[in-house]
Chains A and B, each alone.
Chain A
Amino acid sequence: MTNTIADVEQADTIIVIGSNTTENHPVLSSFVKRAALKGTTLIVIDPRKITLTKHANKWLRQEPGSDIALINAIMHVIIKEDLHDKDFIADRTENFKEFCKTIEKYTPEYASKIAKIKVEDIIETARLYAKAEKGAILYCMGITQHTTGTDNVKSLANLAMLCGNLGIEGGGVNPLRGQNNVQGACDMGGLPNVFTAYQSVGDDNARATYEQNWNITDLSFKPGIPVTEMINMAAKGEIKSLYIIGENPLVSDPDLNHAEKAFKNLDFLIVQDIFLTETAQIADVVLPAHCFAEKDGTFSNTERRVQRVRKAVEAPGDSKADWEILCGISSRMGYEMNYENSEEIFTELAQVTPSYKGINWGRIEKIGIHWPCPDINHPGTPILHTKAFTRGKGLFHAIDHAPPKEMPDKEYPFILTTGRLLYHYHTGTMTMKTEGLNTLAKECFVEISKNDAKKLKCKDGAKVNIASRRGEITANLQVSSKAFDGTVFIPFHFSKAAANRLTNAELDPTAKIPEFKVCAVKITSCE
């Protein structure tokens, strides 16, 4: 997030797009709902009539995969009605003119046909956002999990820059990170192209710093392969071994039938986890790890706040902390890694991570600090880009709409969009161990509109077969007012009816994120 969670309540207008906030970030959603209760204008843009729409002033229902057309049209109206922030654009940004040329053709009428949203709703949304003194944008995987995911995000950044809503309290472009430490995993260089703090592996200075600090030579300057491509390379035999930590790709990956073949093609699969997950079951070696309640360390949350994790209970059996296991293997392979404790590791990482340099465990004993925090006296940075952007001037990207890679047709007439439920978490490895959560969300279902159920001649609860070009599953229909005609929703948590047997593994060319939010399926009754 460019801004903080608390900051959401300071906004005059909030746009929530592609985020089912009440189910996926429940506590953060209460900040949004409280803001709406106190008079903030809330606009929810989502293909489903999610719970948050009950608190919203407006709900715009866009056709899945039409976000760029919609956002461009909103910006078209803002420019046409002269509501843009000219000072901000002149002082802080570049490429505005080029950008305007692209926006020109995205009239509300044109976008209305693509996004299937009324012209007047597009115009009103543009005015509500542009006229707000402080406008915040919140988004999540409804924006990113498309083959145009990167462009979707850039479009939102364009919109925020157009109205000068960056670098101010109550504004910002705020991605809501899904997993407890997905921010930290990225910050720590758990990515193929960067070291910690997003220092490129191709940067000679960065490599030199690391080589010196780690007392080695020959760090590779060649960017590695993203997870979604590693799977394809495993299938082709180009990746021989995978070491998977705390992850269950055999439920969470797109096009599971393909992923399964790829994993089975590996020479050697290592899985380090707290349970014998679907993925661990096919491993050659399984290494038992500690869970969050059994170790000390830090997580970095969605607002870039580095916070302490503390040991509350002793871990079961012979399991070990993830770092201890890795250090053991490293030492056995001839590179000694010995640390007294997790804090010692933090001290080392802070030295080579500019944005964490000023943080130590003592400073975050009571309350976490937002990075960047470059030195020990720095208070941290709750709001990013207050004076300049990382690259200096903010760049307007001229972006055109492109449809999803697989659209419904005669054979596969429904759009399938996948997501999560309040009561479960990712592949359910943890939440499905709490009986109460299973009672509240027992099994997979297909959320469908009343009209579509009628067309299929199926009643609520009917058992159906759902098939895509890649696979099929069986689940019960759930007729719901959340669903819109033509689009069905399936939660992906449940391995017995894994929605990812159906999803499309087509990737966004830059972020390599799969198009989980749109693929074509057909539904037939099993009864």
Chain B
Amino acid sequence: MGNTNSITINDNIFTFSSDDTILNVAQRNNIDIPSLCHLKNTKPTGTCDICVVEIQGSPDLVNACATQASAGMKVYTESLKVINSRKNTIKSMLYSGNHNCAIRDFDADDWTEFQLKVIKDDKTDDLCPVWGDCELQNLAYKYQVSIKHEPLSECKYDMERVNPFIIRDFSRCILCGRCVKACREIQVNNAIDFGYADGDTKIIAGNDVALKDSDCVFCGECVQACPVGALVTEKTFTKQRYTTLGKVRTTCSYCGVGCQMDVFTQNNKIVEIKGADDELAPNNSSLCVKGRFGFDFVASPERLTTPLIRKNGTLKEATWDEAIELVASKLTSIKNEFGSDSLGVLTSARITNEENYIAQKFTRAVLKTNNIDHCARL
């Protein structure tokens, strides 16, 4: 193959197509170029400067997310120059805000003071809520960046916790803009954007109002896109950090779109729901407010836990044996007295295919009627 459509990355040759960026080619070939602002399926912004790479013969580093691959290009993704640049970028991000996790040097004499300040801001006595699940933290660890003896920076903007689902912590925001991309280019709800300028830059909703007073529909796409702890859910704060987290891939139980999602559990309780892979149909990791946040019903104390039988006008707890015996004998006697077509079954658009199949089998084979339907019309 000629070099008209090939590019060299870290001394290996790869092919590319005309609209590929360096980042696309690298990702496709499992070469890790870190990025904090790039969000799949959106236009690159090149704001975070983490994805810089060196191109042979070029004096300046370039952003891999915003640079088109071109024929014969020789790219180095982890050269000394690249690493030093990334270290400086990471360091400057860590200066700003309440990044209270292992990347802040615990031995430094200002740690206690810093932690006390953050605890006051967070109203919790823990570390950053995404500690251990933070892209900035991962990068700081990878490139061995830690900060100590740095002056405590004060965030100009207070944490927003006035809506029921999403916490906006501006002190931990690195202004990468992924949330804006998620809101404007993925879900197209156009609720948030960059606001103000220079040192005052802030991600604002509407004319800088609370999310609940803006066009926000709480789909949480921004939370899932946020690489740090700037956007977290209310439940993230209450999740027990040291209890094993279960993860199960399943299908959402609300509308007919059938979004694929990952359900995270702790102590037999759902604690969080996230959209599945960004390349998995039908939803490519997007969810809506109901799918992402509307799971409290599962562990509701109002759930039915035992069969109930009406006795003297009120429903009383019963055993399965009693309930099944009553249902079976009543259905049999009505069938015998009034005929099969005096019975009807309403199966459900909420239960599984397997269960619907069993419901119609029961109706047709046992009750001997075709009086089965469900709420498709309602």
Contact = CB atoms under 8 A, between A and B. Distances in A.
Given A5-B281, A182-B374, A227-B374, A26 B305 contact: no
Interface in A507-521: 511-514, 516
Given A181-B349, A242-B346, A293-B250, A329 B371 contact: no
A11 to B, nearest CB: 16
A218 B365 CA distance: 9
Interface stretch (B21-29, B97-105, B127-135, B212-220): B212-220
Given A240-B338, A335-B365, A346-B354, A247 B375 contact: yes
B318 to A, nearest CB: 8
A422 B323 CA distance: 37
A190 B344 contact: no
B358 interface: yes
B308 A187 contact: no
Interface string B348-378: 1111111111111110111011111111111
A301 interface: yes
A196 B290 CA distance: 30
B320 A224 contact: no
B344 A243 contact: yes
A224 B373 contact: yes
Interface in B287-343: 287-291, 293-300, 302-310, 315, 320, 323-328, 330-332, 334, 338, 340-343
B334 A309 contact: no
Contacts of B371: 192, 224-225, 230, 239
B188 interface: yes
Contacts of A218: 368
B352 A181 contact: yes
A502 B174 CA distance: 52
Interface stretch (A79-87, A128-136, A278-286, A448-456): A278-286
B235 to A, nearest CB: 10
Contact of A327 (B308, B353, B358, B372): B358
A329 B327 contact: yes
Nearest to B370: A224
Interface of B is mostly: mixed
B99 to A, nearest CB: 28
B270 A312 contact: yes
A50 interface: no
B6 interface: no
Contacts of A247: 346, 348-350, 374-375
Contact of A190 (B218, B281, B347): B347
Contacts of B345: 242-245
A257 to B, nearest CB: 16
Given A312-B270, A317-B306, A433-B300, A330 B366 contact: yes
Contact of B252 (A180, A285, A435): A180
Contacts of B283: 27
Interface stretch (A61-69, A269-277, A383-391): A269-277
A119 interface: no
Interface residues of B, number: 108
B289 A26 contact: yes
A302 B257 contact: yes
B375 A252 contact: yes
Given A317-B303, A332-B325, A240 B256 contact: no
A107 B220 CA distance: 47
Contacts of A226: 373, 377
Contacts of A249: 346, 375, 378
A179 B355 contact: no
A33 B188 contact: yes
Interface in A464-507: none
Interface string A292-313: 1111011111110111111111
A28 B310 contact: no
A321 interface: yes
Given A225-B371, A434-B297, A245 B366 contact: no
Contacts of B270: 293, 312-313
Given A27-B283, A308-B250, A285 B309 contact: yes
Interface stretch (A70-78, A92-100, A154-162, A436-444): A436-444
A433 B288 CA distance: 17
Query: How large, as a class, is the contact surface on chain A?
Result: 35 or more
Nearest to B319: A318
A302 B258 CA distance: 8
Contacts of B357: 188-189, 196, 345, 348-349
Contacts of B315: 276, 281, 283, 286
B304 A177 contact: no
B263 interface: yes
Interface string B236-270: 00000000001011111111111110010100111
Contacts of A333: 328, 331-332, 366
B297 A220 contact: no
Interface stretch (A393-401, A405-413, A423-431): A423-431
B324 to A, nearest CB: 5
B211 to A, nearest CB: 11
Contacts of B293: 434, 436-437
A243 B355 contact: no
B187 interface: yes
A78 B308 CA distance: 60
A112 interface: no
Contact of B268 (A30, A313, A512, A514): A313
Contact of A243 (B218, B308, B332, B346): B346
B328 A329 contact: yes
B72 interface: no
Given A182-B376, A247-B350, A309 B250 contact: yes
B186 interface: yes
Contacts of A325: 324
B311 to A, nearest CB: 10
B294 A430 contact: yes
18 contacts: A26-B290, A181-B353, A222-B370, A224-B370, A225-B344, A230-B344, A240-B338, A245-B351, A252-B378, A273-B304, A274-B304, A301-B258, A305-B281, A305-B282, A332-B325, A332-B328, A433-B296, A436-B293
Interface of A: 4-6, 22, 24-28, 30, 33-34, 36-37, 55, 144-145, 176-193, 195-196, 201, 210, 214, 216, 218-220, 222-228, 230, 234, 238-247, 249, 252-254, 267-268, 270, 273-276, 280-281, 283-289, 291-295, 297-303, 305-314, 316-323, 325-330, 332-335, 337, 342, 345-346, 348-349, 367-368, 422-423, 425, 429-431, 433-437, 439-440, 511-514, 516
Given A306-B353, A319-B304, 14 more contacts: A6-B281, A30-B187, A180-B251, A180-B349, A181-B353, A190-B347, A230-B373, A286-B304, A287-B323, A299-B352, A303-B258, A329-B327, A422-B290, A436-B293
Interface of B: 163-165, 185-188, 212, 217-219, 234, 246, 248-260, 263, 265, 268-270, 280-283, 286-291, 293-300, 302-310, 315, 320, 323-328, 330-332, 334, 338, 340-362, 364-366, 368-378
Which 10 pairs, one residue from A and one from B, show the smallest C-beta to C-beta distance? A317-B305, A301-B258, A436-B164, A297-B352, A224-B370, A177-B256, A246-B348, A26-B288, A33-B188, A288-B304
